[in-house]
Amino acid sequence: MSETASILQLKPGKEKSLLRRHPWVYATAVARVRGRVQSGSTVRVESADGRFLAWAAFSPESAIRARAWTYDEARPVTPALVSERLAQAIARRAPLAARTDAVRLVFGEADGLPGLVVDRYGRQLVVQFLAAGGGAWREHIVRELPRLAGCDDVYERSDAQAREREGLVPREGVIAGAPPPGRIEIVEDEVRYGVDVVGGHKTGFYIDQRDNRRLVARQAAGRRMLNCFCYTGGFTIAALRGGAAAALSVDSSEPALGQARANEAANGLPPSDWRAGNVFEVLKALLEEGRRFDLIVLDPPKFAPSAQHLERAARAYKEINLKALKLLDPGGLLFTFSCSGAMSVDLFQKVVAGAVIDARVDAQLVRRLAAGADHPMLMTHPEGEYLKGLMLVRV
Ligand code: SAH
């Protein structure tokens, strides 16, 4: 393969990041591409002086022009390599089976499979091909997955914005087996949740918040909870099962609230207060009404889709955190999150600290929060860290 391989040659000095095992080659670093390449082709990435750097997946329209598969010249990208990586990714998740049947089996670059996401909900797999790399191996991956994961039903949800940035059209539908039912029931830490893999957000459920749902549940006993951006009620149901005294949950999506109510009933809980509305307005109204809570969760959508949106996003994060802090009684807990990859852990902490100052309260940072173990991050690819959170106590 190496004699006939297409070659992507970098500009002088642009080899440094690949030498540091950072897997992305930006378009601005590319000097030329030699050979016949198409979306997802494997290219041999070379420095300006012709040294081998990586085998990478070529993405002709993306700002991330290539994503590294390996830094080992002797290991070109073959079906066997892809199968081995899938098998290893799945095997690494095995310990989670004791807690849940909703697991992210493959998380893109972190598992050495650029742009590929595979989630498992019971016996249903949901795949996302979000970049040219995994996409070029689509047929092979789709053939291998049922065997490796032990599931027959595979549904595709490659509808994310990331795909558009890669110049790939959105794709959704059944790939293998039976069409998914509207509600697939999963059990996580003995709590039941319904997942709509066709109509839900992402692949249907925020799998990444598993550990934080458990943490909230363990702190919930006797507390009055406010769950902002509740989606299908993950944090609320966990908290009520953990003994929360009451819960008010807010989301702008009626279908999500419908699933949330069904989740509550599926767990034998009496109906709590689910409110359709804009969190920014609801927080304001709750303050005006003089309401108080002892446990607040803020888990908003990505306010900063990219670095250009950071300033506006920071203002939005600050506003909701400021209002939430004012709604907390002393001793109350705030679990606050950002899933904006463009916002660093440091910056998020600064923004929340700014909210504490403006709220004129004292707050302790008790714990830093992150996504679960099935959403790992490559040590050499900090961009992979997107979900971060803080657990604060108002003193
Ligand atoms: N906390 C959820 C996931 C939140 S995803 C969980 O653990 O499952 C973000 C949610 O915010 C989505 O459900 C979306 O419908 C909702 N949303 C987005 N903007 C909103 C706004 N301004 N007010 C209320 N909800 C909003």
pLDDT in tens, 227-239: 999 999 999 999 9
pLDDT digits (tens, 9 = 90+) for 175-224: 999 999 999 999 999 999 999 999 999 999 999 999 999 999 999 999 99
Cα angle at 132 between 62 and 160, to 5 degrees? 80
Task: Tell me the C-alpha distance between 8 and 43, whole Å.
Answer: 6
Structure tokens at 272: 């709590």
Task: Tell me the C-alpha distance between 141 and 146, whole Å.
Answer: 9
pLDDT digits (tens, 9 = 90+) for 75-120: 999 999 999 999 999 999 999 999 999 999 999 999 999 999 999 9
Which residue has its alpha carbon closest to ligand 1 atom 13?
231
Please give the helix or strand (H or E) that residue 7 lies within, else none: strand 6-10
Q: What is the pLDDT of residue 134?
A: 85
3-state per-residue secondary structure call for 139-187: HHHHHHHHHHHCCCEEEEEECCHHHHHCCCCCEEEEEECCCCCCCEEEE
> In the structure, how many helices (H) and strands (E) does the chain have?
11, 20
- In order of 263, 298, 337, the CA distances from 301 in angstroms are 21, 10, 9
Catalytic annotation on 230?
no
Residue 274 near ligand 1, beta carbon < 6 Å: no
Above pLDDT 70, what percent of the chain? 99
Closest CA to 232 of 269, 203, 201: 201
Residue 1 pLDDT exceeds 60: no
β-partners of residue 172 are 157
Task: Tell me the C-alpha distance between 232 and 209, whole Å.
Answer: 13
pLDDT digits (tens, 9 = 90+) for 7-17: 999 999 999 99
* Ligand 1: centre distance to CA 193 (Å): 17
Mean pLDDT of the chain: 96
* Ligand 1: centre distance to CA 288 (Å): 22
Which residue has its alpha carbon closest to ligand 1 atom 7?
234
Locate the ligand 1 atom nearest the alpha carbon of residue 209 and give its number. Answer: 7
Whether pTM > 0.75 for this model: the answer is yes
pLDDT digits (tens, 9 = 90+) for 213-264: 999 999 999 999 999 999 999 999 999 999 999 999 999 999 999 999 999 9
pLDDT band at 169; cut points 50, 70, 90: confident
* Ligand 1: centre distance to CA 46 (Å): 44
Which single residue is written with the structure tokens 């509550």?
264
Residue type, 163: R
Backbone angles phi, psi at 128, to 5 degrees: -130, 120
Residue 3 pLDDT exceeds 60: no
Task: Tell me the C-alpha distance between 150 and 333, whole Å.
Answer: 41
Residue 240 near ligand 1, beta carbon < 6 Å: no
Locate the ligand 1 atom nearest the alpha carbon of residue 231 and give its number. Answer: 13
Residue 165 pLDDT exceeds 90: no
Which residue has its alpha carbon closest to ligand 1 atom 16?
229
Task: Tell me the C-alpha distance between 278 and 185, whole Å.
Answer: 28
Structure tokens at 41: 């082709």
Task: Tell me the C-alpha distance between 260 and 375, whole Å.
Answer: 24
Residue 231 near ligand 1, beta carbon < 6 Å: yes
* Cα distance from N-terminal residue to C-terminal residue, the chain: 64
Task: Tell me the C-alpha distance between 138 and 184, whole Å.
Answer: 25
**What is the average pLDDT across 312-330?**
98
Torsion of CA 198, 203, 209, 214, to 10 degrees: 50
**What is the average pLDDT across 341-357?**
96
Which residues, at least 6 apart from 162, have a Cβ–Cβ distance to it below 8 Å? Answer: 115, 130, 131
Residue 2 pLDDT exceeds 50: no
Structure tokens at 252: 């702008």
Alpha helices in 207-309 (DSSP H): 210-219, 234-241, 254-266, 279-288
Task: Tell me the C-alpha distance between 214 and 14, whole Å.
Answer: 44
Residue 206 near ligand 1, beta carbon < 6 Å: yes
User: Is residue 298 within 8 Å of residue 280, measured between CB atoms?
Assistant: no
* Ligand 1: centre distance to CA 224 (Å): 20
Closest CA to 91 of 75, 101, 106: 106
Q: What is the DSSP letter of 245?
A: S
Residue 384 pLDDT exceeds 90: no
